[in-house]
Amino acid sequence: MLEACRLDLGRSEFETYLSELCWCENDIIFMCNNLEKWAKDEKAPDIPLMNMALSPRIRKEPLGCVLVIGAYNFPIQLTLGPLIGAISAGCTAVVKPSENAPHAAAIMQKIIADALDPSAYAVVQGAIPETSKLLECKWDKIFYTGNATVGTIIAKKAAETLTPVTLELGGRNPAIVSASADPRLAARRLLWAKLLNAGQVCVSQNYILVDRSILPALVSEMRTALKEFHPNGAQSSPDYGRIVNSRQFERLKKMLDSTTGKILIGGTTDAANNFIEPTVIEVESITDPLITDESFGPLIPILAVADLDEAIRVANSIHETPLGLYPFGTRAEVKKVLDQTRSGGASINDGFFHASIPTLAFGGVGDSGQGAYRGKASFDTFTHRRSVTSTPSWIEGLLSVRYPPYAGKLAKFRKQTDLKPNFDRDGRVRIAWTWLALGLGSNSGVGALGRWVALLALALGLRQWTTR
Amino acid sequence: MNDLPPFSHTPAEEISSVHDRVVSSFLKHKTRTIEYRLKQLRSLYWGIKDEEPALTEALKFDLGKSAYEAYLSEIGWCLNDILFVCTNLEKWMKDESAPDIPLTNLLMRPRIRKDPLGAVLIIGAYNFPYQLTLGPLIGAIAAGCTAVIKPSENAPHAARIMQHIVEQSLDPEAYRVVQGAIPETTALLEQKWDKIFYTGNATVGKIIAKKAAETLTPVTLELGGRNPAIVSKNADTKLAARRVLWTKLFNAGQVCVSQNYVMVDREVLPAFLHELGVALKEFQPKGAKDNEDYSHIINERQWSRLKTMLDSTNGKIIYGGHADKETLLFEPTVVQVESADDALIKEESFGPLIPILPVSNLEEAIRTANEVHATPLGLYTFGTNAENAKVLAETRSGGATMNDAMFHASMPTLAFGGVGDSGQGAYRGKSSFDSFTHRRSVTQTPGWMEGMLAVRYPPYTAGKLKKLKQMQDLKPDFDRQGKVKRSLLWLLLSMGGKGTISVGVRWAVFVSLIAIGARLAVSR
């Protein structure tokens, strides 16, 4: 697998180990440790006393037979990760690895054929024709990782048969660096997000909005960081990956060539081995292609903004629902950014850290994706939560209120079920003084108990002290 | 009711501006605070409460629904829902600490924010117009979304009174009603929403799903199914009959989740049919006609559809069969059918038709259920615990009730939804809030951590790889044959118990025994 990723992506052993092998191995162990717990029926929450006799519970049932379509940038993680969830949930599956990472696809096919039950888990290899053929079949769920264009095609096809989907897409993810941010940390961390896998990461920031006042500092720190990360330059660094193929290389080259911004760092490309240097560009406007398009590569456009409000406005106008969002600033600034934007997930004061915790649920929102996985969410995404109740025979007498004829039953029913509002006609909460006294001002039973114990301890202590 | 403006369709040219209004309202962020949401919810509560007579009257006009059913399944249902949501909203809105986070990552404070999805479209249905239109709206308000609701035009009086209540009680910048039928719904679907919540049939569900897919808009679809009931030879036929009949009298069987057909083991078929007759006499002593407690079919189109279904059966009518186009009456009608190919089984009646299919055993029932509809909305199994468990294990369905009909769908706080083509997503109780909420994973990386993070930056020295492996690698507790390995020390320490509680209990007992033994030894 290390060799395959080196061939397909020019990726270092370190990165492949971290983001693919160790990732999947740990995922499996985590699943195995928790599976028994997750598969159990859950007691349904919030059930009123009179309904408890019906033992309402949630069963965890496999959705059925699922299709998993992988991507090329982290071929192992993005193909086997969902498969691991499908297996734990009790589904059978067909896996379609990305043809753009052919060596990884081949090795995964071998592993699956050797390790898994061939009647339940199979691999289909191919490109558009084969994927179309797969989509003609009926699945109980389709899990797709990739871009929004193909995601839309899949969603529309799935809709024809009301097949549920999880879509892990991408976005024009913004990083927002306020005037109060530490430029050194912002530079190192945002660079990291664009060096890993040569920036071919769906969730890394697509562009950076930085307060005008610290733009020079940010760029200068990026220069410093790059010297530390690639002491002999990116092209000769064994740690820096390559673009997956010439088509993607050409796309990135074209993007770079079409910018009206100024290249501040990097800019070198080499078509012979799909090399693109980590390139920092100061762009002029929000209509620059480096901002409006998702690069999915090591392009680092920076746009100066006057203040946080402008940054938030720009971010929302470029993409309302990106996959990730990266605010750097004070607590108050970060809160404002999070409250006034939407995104699949967010890392505060860092590049995509939230997407590097293996057990933290990961997914998009709006057109950056639907559904989530990783950790327990992987099990959940292939599971149907089936609400079940059981009505005992002895309860038939109590149930009589539900059967017609209904004459005289409404009052009885209302007495049993009507809740009382704790607010008046102006929407103000009415204070129930007795409850307040009993609970000593606490909202919960446990809190009230705690307060009573504390009061008692205080009283005893006081007594001890006064009777010394 | 009479002083309200008549039910009329929203002019097409207004629809996009209604949409734009609620979208811009969301982007002003005023729905974010709990105060705003509670204010809307509480106002809606009083709005509904104050219009109880009009709400009841509207259902009488549209469905001939009794005041009892109107309160039970619509008015009281929504009122209680609002109170339940208000009581729990603060708790639900809080950030959740992310579960299962390894120690090294806890310093990043991983948590799940509950963000509103945005501006949403809710399309209601006609059979329980309030519950199915206002229910999702309550969830949307709670989640901090703005919304446009499109009540079903097939229940026009209900639509009218709902419009009045929404206009009186809710912030008009954030919550609007659009009335209409296909053209207006199509115009609504041309707009971009952050979520579409639809209750209705699979045909329209597909149209909506396909349209939503064009803009990658998430949907919740509450559809229906050819839901089976299975009565084994060990079932209590009296209880089964009463309970099965109940769901087909309720709203004259116009309930998406009630059983579409009943499979009964041949051995108990006569008893079951007899008990149906007994129950029918008890529930409708004077019959279905002019019965205040019994709804009529919603309109002529649906009535004719049911009549055609009944006329095309190859089965034998055991009870009922009388229907009247004038009054839209349709008697609860029990039909014994011969095969699963019968129209009454293959189609969803959504009415008071009760086809009974005799089966030889449980296996046949399960096989038939799966062939007729692999993923229905509900499933009802009457038998021993073991039989019911077998049925559940070998079928799929949105939800299921054992030894009863549609009970799981009558608990207001129990999550309710379909699977496969009977629906996507769920709501009610907390899941109403969840349905309109995006769970946004968030972490924060402190500045002082930069040293510890050094291992992630290039150059990737051999030392770093080694350190990384040490930090990250979990050890499998199983060998190459997949057998779990347990060390002797582990066995001793855990005393054979599994899980903290059982180990704790074993240690507690062990220590107590030691203490008692020691005491005895000392006192001798």
- DSSP state letter for B336: E
Tokens linked to A406: 């209904």
Is residue A134 a contact partner of residue A95, using CB atoms and an 8 Å limit? no
The catalytic residues of B are 222, 256
Is residue B98 a contact partner of residue B441, using CB atoms and an 8 Å limit? yes
Per-residue pLDDT tens over the stretch A245-287: 999 999 999 999 999 999 999 999 999 999 999 999 999 999 9
- Give the model's pLDDT for residue A14: 95
The two domains B22-96+103-223+430-440 and B228-407 share their CATH topology (first three levels equal) = no
Per-residue pLDDT tens over the stretch B281-336: 999 999 999 999 999 999 999 999 999 999 999 999 999 999 999 999 999 999 99
Nearest CA in chain B to A163: B420
Closest by Cα among A181, A205, A182 to A194: A205
Per-residue pLDDT tens over the stretch B427-472: 999 999 999 999 999 999 999 999 989 999 999 999 999 988 888 7
Domain limits of chain B? 22-96+103-223+430-440, 228-407, 488-514
- The H-or-E segment that residue A283 falls in is strand A279-283
CA distance B519 to A208: 72
The yes-or-no verdict on residue B518 having pLDDT over 90 is: no
> Across all residues in chain B, what is the average pLDDT?
95
Question: Nearest CB to A427: which of B38, B112, B465?
Answer: B38
- The H-or-E segment that residue B175 falls in is strand B175-177
Per-residue pLDDT tens over the stretch B387-427: 999 999 999 999 999 999 999 999 999 999 999 999 999 99
Domain B228-407 belongs to what topology? Aldehyde Dehydrogenase; Chain A, domain 2 (3.40.309)
Question: Nearest CB to A389: which of B110, B115, B411?
Answer: B411
- Give the model's pLDDT for residue B491: 74
Q: List, in sequence order, every beta strand (DSSP E) within A287-337.
A: 299-305, 324-328
Instruction: Using the structure block, give the residue that is written with the tokens 């009959």.
Output: B241
In this prediction, residue A468 has a pLDDT band, given cuts at 50, 70 and 90, of low
The yes-or-no verdict on residue A6 having pLDDT over 70 is: yes
Question: Nearest CB to B441: which of A161, A354, A403?
Answer: A354
The yes-or-no verdict on residue B266 having pLDDT over 70 is: yes
Per-residue pLDDT tens over the stretch B334-365: 999 999 999 999 999 999 999 999 999 999 99
> What are the chain A neighbours of B407 within 8 Å (beta carbons)?
54, 389, 391
Instruction: Using the structure block, give the residue that is written with the tokens 């590569």.
Output: A297
On the CB side of A49, CA atoms within 13 Å amount to 2
Per-residue pLDDT tens over the stretch B292-301: 999 999 999 9
Query: At residue B59, what is the residue type?
Result: L
Tokens linked to A299: 């392009």
- Give the model's pLDDT for residue B53: 97
Query: pTM for the full model?
Result: 0.94
B358 Cβ contact partners less than 8 Å away, ≥ 6 residues apart: B263, B264, B265, B266, B269, B336
B58 Cβ contact partners less than 8 Å away, ≥ 6 residues apart: B1, B155, B157, B158, B160, B161
Per-residue pLDDT tens over the stretch A128-143: 999 999 999 999 999 9
For testing contact with chain A, the best of B36, B278, B443 (most A CBs within 10 A): B443
Query: CB–CB of B458 and A61 under 8 A?
Result: no
Per-residue pLDDT tens over the stretch A156-185: 999 999 999 999 999 999 999 999 999 999
Strand, coil or helix: what is A219?
Answer: helix
Query: CB–CB of A44 and B113 under 8 A?
Result: no
Query: CB–CB of B100 and A359 under 8 A?
Result: yes
Question: Nearest CB to B474: which of A30, A231, A396?
Answer: A30
Per-residue pLDDT tens over the stretch B94-147: 999 999 998 889 999 999 999 999 999 999 999 999 999 999 999 999 999 999
CB of B326 within 8 Å of a chain A CB? The answer is no
The yes-or-no verdict on residue B502 having pLDDT over 80 is: no
- Phi, psi (degrees; rounded to nearest 5) at B41: -65, -45
The yes-or-no verdict on residue B496 having pLDDT over 70 is: no
In this prediction, residue A190 has a pLDDT band, given cuts at 50, 70 and 90, of very high
- Give the model's pLDDT for residue A449: 82
Query: CB–CB of B469 and A22 under 8 A?
Result: yes
Is residue A167 a contact partner of residue A69, using CB atoms and an 8 Å limit? no
- Give the model's pLDDT for residue A49: 87
CA distance A303 to A342: 20
- Give the model's pLDDT for residue B499: 61
Q: What is the CATH number of domain B22-96+103-223+430-440?
A: 3.40.605.10
Residues within 8 A of A (CB atoms), B 376-395 only = 388, 392
